[in-house]
Structure 1
Amino acid sequence: MAKPKIYKILGVVLLLAVVAGTIGYLSLSNRHKAIVKTTVLHKLHLVDAEWHVNNAESHYKMVSPSFLIDGIYKSMEGPKASNYVQLSQDSALVWLTGFHVRAMDAKTKQPVSNDFICHMNVDFNDVKYYTGLGLTDRIGTQYPRMTSLSHGMEDFSFPAGYGVPMKGNDLLFVTTQTLNHNLPDINFQVKHEVTIDYAKNDQQIKPLMCRTVFVMLPYDKRDPYKEPTDPGANECIPVETKNHSYDDGNGNMLSGHWVIPVGKNTYRSNIDKQLQITDSLRLHAAAVHVHPFTTSLTLFDKTANKPIFTSHVINHKKSIGLDKIEQFSSEDGIWLYKNHEYELVETVNNTSGIQQDMMGSMFLFFYDRELDDKLNGK
């Protein structure tokens, strides 16, 4: 076959591939477009694709790769990156005591608005973690997420004298994601600086265990996007049914990521199965993750008919975003009981004039008596 003909065929094939790729890309959701775009930028090193780590005594700092913000990215849609964290080279215990995340200009390294932070998740390998601590019966009982920081709660520390222990050479898996609710005409590179506070083995620190609880609302699995829902039924329209969708064990579907209408609403969700209380537990800290337009998230004792604590949420006044999410921290702690029923109660006020997406979760930290006894040889 003559070379001109071969070149012509290759040109047509290439053109068809480009057209098909373009059509495929344009058909993706905003979240998946961000994944593709970020992967290409990082793989081709068109932006800084590296994590930069500085593990100083008591503070592990790392700066993320650069993220291109080139349009609106709502919660859980923006460019993101993940990295493993190892606090030391040996198996001696370290104690996690706090977590922080900051947004910075990718070029100048100067601080910028934390409106560009969606969330920063800290996950752990529960098999390795619990095996190393001699708590193998806990493996697989909960999703292994230690905590999550988000817009409005960029700093979270445990009360004095408490921390989460782990072997120093175990790995944490950190994922940080960007956000942009308000600036459609933007072309800007941002980085996230992540800090993990920790202490070396300290017999004065008491161990905490984490339990994640979140709002899950029922939806009609036969017609999940039917509108409107009955507000009195505490039902929801899921954002999507592929992610954050759960079976309640009786064939009914629940969503942890749902759509809220304009105006004020209250959502309630039983969390007893998530808490897994087999004996009384003393709560010492809670990090809270919610989306904009939330006004409060309450851990509620339904049996006693009173709140354990309420996280009040302050929204931006002139744009979409969160100024502050109130966290819980107490050296004395608050008791939760096996024979009580508990709920999460989330109040929202959607002032945007259009539907918005919503989530509500708490990362609860309880005094771990069983682990304390093991660490002290009792």
Structure 2
Amino acid sequence: MRKSKIYKIAGGFVIGAIVVGAIGYSQLSNRHKAIVKTEFLFRTGIVKNKWDIDKEPSEYRMISPTFLIDGIYKSMEGPKATNFVQLSQDTSLVWLTGFKVKALDSKMTTQLSNDFICHTNIDFNDSRYYTGFGLLNRVGVQYPRMTSLSNGQESFEFPKGYGIPMRGNDLLTVTTESLNHNIKDADLWIKHEIDIDYQKNGDGLKPLMTRTIFVALPFDEKDPYKEPLDPAANSCIPVETKNHTYDDGKGGKLSGHWVIPPGKSTWHSSIDGQLQMKDSLRLHAAAVHVHPFSTSLTVFDLTDNKVIFKSEMTNYKDKIGLEKVTAFSSEQGIWLYANHHYELRQECDNTTAIDQDMMGSMFLFFYDAELESKIRQKP
């Protein structure tokens, strides 16, 4: 076979592969397009796929790889990256006391708007963490997310005298994701700077445990996108049925990521199963994650008919985004009781003319008497 013919055949295969790839790419969701583009930029070396680390005695600072913002990226759609963190090289305890994230330009010289911060998740290895403290009954019980920072709440500190203890050489997994609700013709290169504040000397600090709670709403598994819904049923239309979908324990499905229509709406769901309370617990802090157009998220005691904590959100009036999300922090704490029933209540105000997506979750931090007993027993 002539070389010219071989070249033509090879060229045809290349062109065909490009066409097939382009068609496949065009059919991806915005979130998956961001994954493909980010992976391509990292692997080809077009952008820096490296975390910059600056570790100080009381602060671990990391700066993410570069993210390309080239269009609208709603919540949970933008380019993201993951880093694995060890605060020290030995098993001596460190105490986590706070978290911060901010957006920078790619040269790391200018702080940018928080509009480019979707969320930063801090996860831990629950098997290694609880096994090290002799708390084997806690392994695999809850999703091992320590906390999350997100648009509107980009920093969070525990109240004075409290922290999360961990062995310094245990791993934390930090994933940070970018956001852009407003600039349609964007052409920006950005980074995220994440700080983890910690103390090596935990004398006098009391340990906290984390519990994740979130709004989870029923939907029709056979016809999930059917409209209109009956507001009295507190059911939802999920954004999708693959992710953030849960069993309700009764043969039905729940979604933690749903659609809100234009106008005001209210949603509520039980959190008794998520709290998994076997005894009374004292709440000292709460970090909050919601999407734009949420106006409040409340932990409500159904038994006593009272509010435990209400986080209120300030949405921007001239653009899409959360200006501020209030957190909870208290040295005194608030008691929650094992024989009470609790739910999350979320209020939304979609000021646009189209449907928007919504989530509502909290990371609750309770005083951990059992863990303190384990720590004090160690020589």
**TM-based fold match above 0.5:** yes
Query: Which residues of 2 match residues 101-250 of structure 1 at below 5 A?
Result: 101-250=101-250
Q: Paired residue for 2:82? A: 82
Distance 2:218 2:306 in 1: 24
On the 8 A contact 1:284/1:332 being kept in 2, the answer is yes
Q: Match of 2:261, as an amino acid?
A: P
Q: 1:249-306 CA deviation, whole Å, 9 max, x = no partner?
A: 1110000000000000110010000000100000000000000000000000011001
Q: Distance in 1 between matches of 2:43 and 2:195?
A: 25
For 2:15, the aligned partner's letter is L
The CA deviation string for residues 130-149 of structure 1, in whole angstroms up to 9 with x for no partner, is: 01111111000000000000
Residue 51 of structure 2: aligned partner: 51
Q: Structure 2: how far apart are the matches of 1:210 and 1:201?
A: 21
Q: How much has 1:239 moved relative to structure 2?
A: 0.2
Partner of residue 69, structure 1:
69
**SS of alignment partner, residue 131 of structure 2:** helix
Secondary structure of the structure 2 residue equivalent to 1:362? strand
Q: CA deviation at 1:201?
A: 3.4
Structure 1 gaps of 5+ residues are: none
C-alpha distance in 2 between matches for 1:260 and 1:184:
22
Match of 2:330 in 1: 330
How far has the Cα of 1:109 moved from its partner?
Answer: 2.6
Paired residue secondary structure (1:120): strand
In the alignment, residue 160 of structure 1 is paired with which amino acid?
Answer: K
1:316-374 CA-partner distances (Å, limit 9, x unpaired): 01100001000000000000001000000000000011100000000000000001111
Inter-partner Cα distance in structure 2 for 1:131 and 1:201: 22
Query: Hey, what's the Cα distance between the residues in 2 that align with 1:230 and 1:42?
Result: 46
Give the Å deviation of 1:108.
4.8
Please give the alpha-carbon distance, in whole angstroms, between the structure 1 residues aligned to 2:310 and 2:249: 29
- Name the counterpart of 2:100: 100
Tell me how far apart the structure 2 counterparts of residues 336 and 233 of structure 1 sit (CA, whole Å).
27
Native 8 Å contact 1:92 1:201 kept in 2: no
Question: What secondary structure does 1:53 align onto?
Answer: strand
Supply the distance in 2 between the matched residues of 1:240 and 1:107 (Cα, whole angstroms). Answer: 37
1:256 counterpart residue number: 256
> What's the TM-score, normalizing by structure 1?
0.99
Distance 1:149 1:283 in 2: 19
Partners of 1:372 and 1:244 in 2: CA distance: 33
Structure 1 counterpart of 2:377: 377
| Coordinate RMSD, CA, aligned | 0.8
Report the Cα distance in structure 2 between the residues aligned to 1:228 and 1:142, rounded to whole angstroms: 34
Deviations along 1:127-173, whole A, 9 cap, x unmatched?
00101111111000000000000000000000000000000000000
Q: Is the 8 A contact 2:282 2:335 kept in 1?
A: yes
Q: Is the 8 A contact 2:142 2:211 kept in 1?
A: yes
Matched, 1:276 2:287: no
Measure, in 1, the Cα distance between the counterparts of 2:270 and 2:338: 14
- Cα separation, 2, equivalents of 1:109 and 1:305: 50
Alpha-carbon separation, structure 1, partners of 2:274 and 2:260? 24
Q: Is contact 2:159–2:330 with CA below 8 Å preserved after alignment? A: yes
What letter matches 2:367 in structure 1?
Y
Q: Distance in 2 between matches of 1:159 and 1:90?
A: 27
Structure 2 CA distance for aligned equivalents of residues 21 and 120 of structure 1: 31
Measured in 2, the distance between the counterparts of 1:108 and 1:139 equals 39
Asked whether the 8 Å contact 1:286–1:363 carries over to 2, the reply is yes
Q: How many angstroms apart in 2 are the aligned matches of 1:103 and 1:228?
A: 39
Could you tell me how far apart the structure 2 residues matched to 1:330 and 1:107 are? 38
Which runs of structure 1 show a deviation greater than 3 angstroms over 4 or more consecutive aligned residues? none
Q: Which residue of 1 aligns with 2:29?
A: 29
Alpha-carbon deviation of 1:45? 1.1
Letter matched to residue 377 of structure 1:
Q
- Structure 2 unaligned blocks of 5 or more: none
Q: Retained in 1: the 8 A contact 2:108–2:191?
A: no
Q: Which amino acid aligns with 1:244?
A: H
Larger deviation, residues 106-115 vs 354-363: 106-115
Whether the aligned pair in 1 keeps the contact of 2:297 and 2:310 (CA below 8 Å) is: yes
- Post-superposition offset of 1:196: 0.1
Distance in 2 between residues matched to 1:114 and 1:166, nearest whole Å: 30
Give the conservation status (yes or no) of the 8 Å contact 2:159–2:329: yes
SS in structure 2 at match of 1:237: coil
Aligned length in residues:
378
Which amino acid in the other structure matches residue 356 of structure 1?
Q
